[in-house]
Chains A and B, each alone.
Chain A
Amino acid sequence: MTRHRRLGTAAMLAAVLVLGACGRDSGGGGDAAQPVAEGKATGEITVWAMGTEGEKLGAFAQEFMAENPDAKVNVTAVPWDAAHQKIASAIAGRQTPDVSMLGSTWMGEFAKTGALDPTPEGVDRGAFFPGAWDTTVVDGTSYGVPWYVETRLIYYRKDLAAKAGVSAPTTWDELKSFATAMRDKGGAKWGMNLQPGGTGSWQSFMPFAWSNGADLTEGDAFTLDSPQMTEALAYYQSFFTEKLSPPTDLSLQGALEQSFVNGSLAAFISGPWHVSLLNEQGGAGFADKFAVAAMPRKQSATSFVGGSDLAVFKDAGNRDGAWKFVSWLSRPEVQIKWYQTVSDLPAVQGAWSDPALSGDPILATFGEQLKDAKSPPAIPTWEQVAAVIDGEVEKVAKSNADPAATARTMQQRASGIGTGA
């Protein structure tokens, strides 16, 4: 889940959660998964999906309807812009569809309202990437399945790297010397772009924290002031103090791609959508000038896994049909077809052996990285905690705040919010 999705005010969310929780048994923990009836799906299945997924899923589901002639899938496309608010209001007003696509970091919040149906037995969790599956698990119960995934890699200019005489970095030390060489010998103004705070910068920072062995929570408590976290903050900060990373957010100015194309920026961290963006904006031949590399290793080489999950609502009029549609979308061959339709990376590991994915060097790197990728814990307060991390990362990057003190502040403010447990 990322920057462009705008959330409503926290006050509104709180109201939604309170209202959503009224008159329902509290979700999480005690929910028991009900089995799904055998046989073909029947009846009408209403589905909400965002953006391109919403636009294309209706036609894509024709094949499901051909297999299940008595079922009819109705897809409503929802704009990403305010999808979170729409779903939150729908839960409060008990006007939910049967199935909805949910951003992977929303699961904790929505599952806690008690509106989501626990994933039935018989769904094979081992089929999915573990980091992606974890996004569906709230208090030990799974409330949906991952639909598609994305993870973050380092994009870098191959031609500048050749000029600077460096190859793709594999460790933290190498990343630093890589960025320095890109700037000093490769001719770039900035060696490596790290997001200097602002919405979503936790996605840029957390891979470093995770790779250093830090974790966000242990049980119900935050562990944001661990030595590992402090060290990761200090490492992140060094890119700014050594003038390797620009102090202003290039992507906020819409300048990230252009800087990368004109060579003033040598590398940045982003997800799979940047491949097509760069090819569009770089023009013919630019595809040969850049490559992607996995996150560099410290204790591990962990990246962030995002994407979207599919969840069925308890109020669903057609629960069995809904789960059948969800499990159809999780079949490896359907996931490959879906990738070919909208370029969403499959959340099902089995789909990655297909040559359409494994044959492409860039995609194969994403596939490798997905095996070591984490997501934040699925807690209802996550968006608030994320905002805290975003703000503190900004202080570290822009105003040279002390990493240890920042980690303590982060811990203090996050503990004030709580994990919602």
Chain B
Amino acid sequence: MRRRDLLARGALYTVLGLGLLVVVGPFLWAVLSSMKPEAEIRRIPATWWPEVFTLGNYRELLSRLDFPQAFANSAIVAVLTTLGNLAFCSLLGYALAKLRFPGKRALFLVVLGTLMVPSMVTFVPQFVMVSNLGLVNSYGGLILPFLATPFGVFLMRQYLLSIPDELIEAARVDGAGELRIFARVVMPLCGPALATLTILTFLASWNNFLWPLVVATTEDRYTLPVALALYSVGQNRIDYGLVLAGAVAVLLPVVIVFVLLQRHFLRGIATTGLK
């Protein structure tokens, strides 16, 4: 009996280990290869451990682009976008889940409907609107269009549905106003959903490439992915060393955010049953 357990466990770990290798392998290769010279990266068959270890790619990256500025732009945009989503998506999600008002169903359908429209379709009209507002090349233009997302609203609504009405009614009987109920009773129960929303929004904003590229018209407004694309991909050649070093530089903050929030994140996924 015990032996069989051990065997089963061994098999399980083998399968999991293989899965891990498939998922982490390319990532690991990218990190290791970012420390190889260009010729070694392109070599076939590829090498794992760098034969010649160099930080040249990172040095070139740092010397050719204004890394602190691009990093700061990315951080400002990602943090403000995330805060906006946390505030607006939870407010609208609460209204759609728990309040009774005329047109609620229609409003929810509109939110769901916008979720179906591919972003490519709205891209140019959105840019024209931002341009008419005079927000081109400003943080406003980079952040405003993403302050609330239909997906975030949907996520919050679904989670809020699971919160018992009795709690809210009890608070109402005690004389609390709607905003007070929202802030003091409902939000503290939404930790996992908020953590999920934080990670998803932060990731999307941090990795966004096309919008900041088009809206930022001077280099001092470029976010990290845009600034990194500047020098690594040429018209006729790709500098793989710079691409990989850049990818690692963009990835690190996201990994840190994920590690910090992962406990909540995993719980959020389990309990909302979404994504």
A-side residues, CB < 8 A to B, are 1-5, 8-9, 11-12, 15-16, 19, 50-52, 54-55, 74, 76-82, 85-86, 89-90, 92-95, 97, 103, 150, 253-255, 257-258, 271, 273, 277, 280-281, 283, 308
Residue of A nearest to B240 (CB): A254
Complex contact A280–B38 (CB within 8 A): yes
Interface residues as binary, B199-238 with A (CB distance below 8 Å gives 1, 0 otherwise):
0000000000110011001110000001001110111111
A86 to B229, CA, bound (A): 13
A195 to B112, CA, bound (A): 45
Complex contact B233–A93 (CB within 8 A): no
Q: Is B124 an interface residue (CB 8 A)?
A: yes
In the A-B complex, the 4 residue pairs with the closest CB atoms: A93-B131, A79-B229, A89-B214, A273-B236
Residue of A nearest to B225 (CB): A79
Residue in B38, B43, B131 whose beta carbon sits within 8 Å of that of A94 in the complex: B131
Interface residues as binary, B77-113 with A (CB distance below 8 Å gives 1, 0 otherwise):
0000000000000000000000000000000000000
Complex contact B234–A52 (CB within 8 A): yes
Tally of contact residues, B, Cβ under 8 A: 34
A254 to B244, CA, bound (A): 15
Which residues of the partner chain B approach A257 to less than 8 Å between Cβ atoms?
42
Which residues of the partner chain B approach A90 to less than 8 Å between Cβ atoms?
214, 217
Q: Is B179 an interface residue (CB 8 A)?
A: no
Which residues of the partner chain A approach B209 to less than 8 Å between Cβ atoms?
81-82
Which residues of the partner chain A approach B43 to less than 8 Å between Cβ atoms?
258
Q: Is B1 an interface residue (CB 8 A)?
A: no
Which residues of the partner chain B approach A103 to less than 8 Å between Cβ atoms?
235
- Cβ-Cβ contact count across A and B, 8 Å cutoff: 110
Residue in B64, B124, B230, B234 whose beta carbon sits within 8 Å of that of A19 in the complex: B124
Complex contact B39–A281 (CB within 8 A): yes
A277 to B236, CA, bound (A): 11
Residue in A15, A50, A51, A78 whose beta carbon sits within 8 Å of that of B124 in the complex: A15
**Apart from A19-B125, A82-B214: 15 A-B pairs, beta carbons within 8 A:** A1-B235, A11-B121, A15-B121, A51-B231, A79-B213, A80-B233, A80-B235, A85-B210, A90-B214, A90-B217, A93-B124, A95-B217, A254-B42, A254-B44, A281-B39
Which residues of the partner chain B approach A1 to less than 8 Å between Cβ atoms?
235
A119 to B128, CA, bound (A): 27
Which residues of the partner chain A approach B128 to less than 8 Å between Cβ atoms?
19, 92-93
Complex contact A4–B238 (CB within 8 A): yes
| Known A93-B131, A280-B39: A77·B219 in contact at CB below 8 Å | yes
Q: Is B151 an interface residue (CB 8 A)?
A: no
Interface centre among A50, A92, A308 (most CB of B within 10 A): A92
Which residues of the partner chain B approach A52 to less than 8 Å between Cβ atoms?
231, 234
Complex contact B219–A12 (CB within 8 A): no
A29 to B121, CA, bound (A): 31
26 contacts between A and B (CB under 8 A): A1-B235, A2-B236, A4-B233, A4-B235, A4-B237, A8-B210, A11-B120, A12-B123, A16-B124, A19-B124, A50-B235, A52-B231, A54-B230, A55-B230, A76-B217, A77-B219, A80-B233, A82-B214, A86-B214, A92-B127, A93-B127, A93-B130, A95-B136, A257-B42, A258-B43, A273-B237
Which residues of the partner chain A approach B123 to less than 8 Å between Cβ atoms?
12, 89
Complex contact A86–B213 (CB within 8 A): yes
Which residues of the partner chain A approach B125 to less than 8 Å between Cβ atoms?
19
B120, chain A: closest CB distance, angstroms = 5
Complex contact B233–A92 (CB within 8 A): no
A78 to B234, CA, bound (A): 11
Residue in B39, B124, B234 whose beta carbon sits within 8 Å of that of A80 in the complex: B234
A90 to B238, CA, bound (A): 26
Which residues of the partner chain B approach A81 to less than 8 Å between Cβ atoms?
209, 229, 233
Interface centre among B121, B214, B236 (most CB of A within 10 A): B236
Which residues of the partner chain B approach A89 to less than 8 Å between Cβ atoms?
123-124, 127, 214
Complex contact A82–B230 (CB within 8 A): no
Complex contact A95–B44 (CB within 8 A): no
A280 to B39, CA, bound (A): 7
Residue of A nearest to B211 (CB): A89
Complex contact B218–A76 (CB within 8 A): yes
Which residues of the partner chain B approach A79 to less than 8 Å between Cβ atoms?
213, 226, 229-230, 233
Which residues of the partner chain B approach A4 to less than 8 Å between Cβ atoms?
233-238
Residue of A nearest to B230 (CB): A79
A51 to B236, CA, bound (A): 10
A208, chain B: closest CB distance, angstroms = 20
Complex contact B210–A82 (CB within 8 A): yes
